[in-house]
Structure 1
Amino acid sequence: MEREDSEPESAAFRVNELNLSSTCVFPPHRGFDSRLVRTSLPLHTVSCQKPAATAPGDQAGAQPGAASRGAHQKLRTEPQFPHLHNGLGRADLSGPEDSMSSSRVRTSKTYREPLRMEEEKVHPKPLKEESYDMSGARLALTLCVTKAREGSGADLEAVEFMFRQLGFKNTMKKDPTAQQFLDELETFQQVIDNWKGPVSCAFVVLMAHGEEGLLQGEDGRMVRLEDLFEALNNKNCQALRAKPKVYIIQACRGEHRDPGERVGGGDEVLMAKDGPETVPTYTDALQVYATVEGYVAYRHDTKGSYFIQTLADVFTKKKGPVLELLSEVTRRMAEAELPQEGKPRKVNPQIQSTLRKRLYLQ
């Protein structure tokens, strides 16, 4: 039972068309206070009964209309949406004073079936397109462990070419230790915050052996990916606040291998060759993993990793919002068959995004 702050002058009835809940507000009257009774039943007509307002001992000489004041009064309202006007049920709020005090609302035993909303033609409007301002500097950091990772040289060449094409100033470091991964990210954050002029976007490419949530440095020690992501978030990097931060991670995330699943019947297998004043700490970030959680990432001994090579090719030769480009990367990788250890394998990237706008690179 909720109590109103002020006493209304007359009874009022409101219908919330969204959830079809009803609210009946009773006027001040001797015998009970002004109360707000809610019911989640789909109501349209509500009957409210109040005690008769006659003085004690004056039953015979009651004022005209007193009986009608003691009878059920029907309160109606016209809903704003005409298609919600019919088929609503009915509730009976009659009863002695103690039933109101205990907040009990009795529902009539007979009521109609819930309303079936009539089908209406909906004309959806396209989303308003809002994109990040990319007129400022574009900075990138590439950290790659080449030790015991044959083919990583081809990946470095592909990434460097991609950044040149997209207008990024890329800093490349080879064979960082676990601690140097952290140190390089911290240095990169300071470079961005001290950059002369506005910075529009930052890319971070991380290539190494790994496990779920971890990267292995050249020294064999592990570093947490979350610690690397912290360096450029909206709290720690002021120059990138509310601006896109993209992480490309080429590393295993487990030991599972995906052989692929058959599609269709028989033996057929589908295979082929202005911002807000404040923002949350972790928005405007995009993390793209070479594989899904728990699975290995593949790399060719001479041609490099299929993920990096495909991503660089799409980002260099195609135009569009980054998330759409990544969908194309996913499509190509999902269609490909990767022979590993004499068996066909499947792999797809995983994308985690908190971008608030579209991100265009060219």
Structure 2
Amino acid sequence: MSKDTLRSNKTDIVMGLCGDYRLVLNKVLEKKLITQREYNNLKSIPNENIEGHVVELVDKIMNKGEDTCKAFLDLLQTDDEIKTTLPELANIQDNCLLPTPEELYELRSQPVGLCMIINNEKFSDGTSRGGTNTDAQSLAEVFHWLGFRVLMCKDQTREQMSHTVAGLASLSDGNQLQGLSVQEWNGSRFTAPQQALQHGDAFFCCILSHGEKGAVWGTDLNPLAIKEITRSFKATEQSALTGKPKVFLIQACQGRQKQRGVMLKDVETDGGSPSIPEEADVLVAVATVEDHQAFRHPVNGSWFVQSVCQQLKERCPSGEDFTSILHYVNGDVGQKEAFSQPVTAKQMPEVRFTLTKRLVLSPQRM
């Protein structure tokens, strides 16, 4: 975490900041990491005590919490003037925040991998999921930006969803998803795929539908178990995705209950085996916890998917790993409220994973 990084590298950071304290202080004010009053107080410390200035600034940043600590470290790494004047600070940032290669999933393929969106809008009972196309487009845009080939299947029954998942799990060079209307995002809209599909170094599956406890619905209102979906991707010697990250983002209700709002009180491998478990390297993020509803605006899309896309856009450029980004998604969605009588309704996404390394997605030059 960024606060831990500041704490463990405080001595080196303080020494680096002493080189041009006023420059960094002004930059911190510009980024609104401190208030004008705090700036004036820090500036009023006697000039002969430069180190006192710096220690006070770093302590103040650390006391403001994780988000402010991260923004401060990002500033040291990315601001051109600071990098030129105080290059040792950028080096501290690199050394303490970026994981070693052994800790990361390797994402070297071009494209990075496939991102499949199953987008169920219209159902056999005549109902429709307003706003789901907004979610699908937001996902397509952000994963295309992150270097994935983005595919979409629209309005699938339970059997069709099962066939799609099985087809993706067994996909090999030259294979297509036979019998399904697969479209591919070309940067502005969905069209027919122009090239054969093959897996890269990562796989994402985004399912947008209705659901119930532990399952998502096909358009025929029949449930497909989330466990059945993920277990289609068990590691095998033949699978192109063995040892690679497989992420499932599920936007679907998991029951009919509404979560109530509660007021807070008093808040302030050396020598390892070459084999891996067959269910390793999987992450499942569901829009809501079991038995509860997930909220979706009929035009602007769902709370969960829109938050995922926004957090990816904001945090991937700075090298934050995917599971950490989902912490911010949980916090963001958890703060939203739906006004439903007799109580204010809330939503809490749930994440579970067997990832063995850090998954860092980076914007690609297209």
TM-score, normalised via structure 1 length: 0.59
Partner of 1:361: 361
Identity value in percent: 28
Partner of 1:254: 255
1:252-310, Cα deviation, whole Å (9 max, x unpaired): 11122112111127xxx99xxx9952110100000000001111111111111100000
Which among 315, 318, 323 is matched to residue 318 of structure 1? 315
SS of equivalent to 1:170: strand
SS of equivalent to 1:191: coil
Structure 1 vs Structure 2 CA RMSD: 2.7
Paired with 2:104 and 2:115, the residues of 1 have a C-alpha distance of 20
Higher strand share: 1
- Cα offset for 1:339? 2.7
Partner of 1:133: 106
CA contact (8 A) 1:193 1:239 kept: no
Paired with 1:196 and 1:168, the residues of 2 have a C-alpha distance of 12
Q: Which amino acid aligns with 1:184?
A: T
Q: Which amino acid aligns with 1:326?
A: L
Are residues 237 and 316 of structure 1, via their aligned partners in 2, closer, same or farther at CA, if it must alter by over 3 Å? farther
Alignment of 1:39-54 (within 5 A): none
- Cα offset for 1:211? 0.6
Q: Which amino acid aligns with 1:145?
A: N
Q: Which amino acid aligns with 2:135?
A: D
Q: Does 1:224 align with 2:225?
A: yes
Are residues 176 and 301 of structure 1, via their aligned partners in 2, closer, same or farther at CA, if it must alter by over 3 Å? same
Partner of 2:201: 200
Are residues 236 and 346 of structure 1, via their aligned partners in 2, closer, same or farther at CA, if it must alter by over 3 Å? farther
Q: How many aligned residue pairs are there?
A: 232
Q: Does 1:154 align with 2:137?
A: no
Paired with 1:189 and 1:243, the residues of 2 have a C-alpha distance of 12
> Once superposed, which parts of structure 1, at least 4 consecutive aligned residues long, lie more than 4 Å away?
125-129, 192-198
Partner of 2:289: 292
Paired with 1:193 and 1:354, the residues of 2 have a C-alpha distance of 27
Paired with 2:114 and 2:233, the residues of 1 have a C-alpha distance of 12
Are residues 179 and 343 of structure 1, via their aligned partners in 2, closer, same or farther at CA, if it must alter by over 3 Å? same
Paired with 2:211 and 2:198, the residues of 1 have a C-alpha distance of 36
SS of equivalent to 1:318: helix
CA contact (8 A) 1:192 1:199 kept: no
Q: Does 1:306 align with 2:279?
A: no
Structure 1 unaligned blocks of 5 or more: 1-124
Are residues 179 and 341 of structure 1, via their aligned partners in 2, closer, same or farther at CA, if it must alter by over 3 Å? farther
- Cα offset for 1:138? 1.2
With a CA cutoff of 8 Å and minimum separation of 6, indicate the structure with the bigger relative contact order. 2
Alignment of 1:273-292 (within 5 A): 277-292=274-289
Paired with 1:343 and 1:236, the residues of 2 have a C-alpha distance of 51
Partner of 1:63: none
Are residues 289 and 152 of structure 1, via their aligned partners in 2, closer, same or farther at CA, if it must alter by over 3 Å? same
TM-score, normalised via structure 2 length: 0.59
Higher helix share: 2
- Cα offset for 1:191? 2.7
Which among 147, 151, 161 is matched to residue 181 of structure 1? 161
Paired with 1:288 and 1:242, the residues of 2 have a C-alpha distance of 19
Partner of 1:18: none
Paired with 1:196 and 1:214, the residues of 2 have a C-alpha distance of 27
CA contact (8 A) 1:193 1:238 kept: no
- Cα offset for 1:192? 4.9
Paired with 1:264 and 1:315, the residues of 2 have a C-alpha distance of 31
- Cα offset for 1:338? 2.6
CA contact (8 A) 2:210 2:216 kept: yes
SS of equivalent to 1:286: strand
1:137-195, Cα deviation, whole Å (9 max, x unpaired): 31111101101211111111111111111111011011000000011112212335668
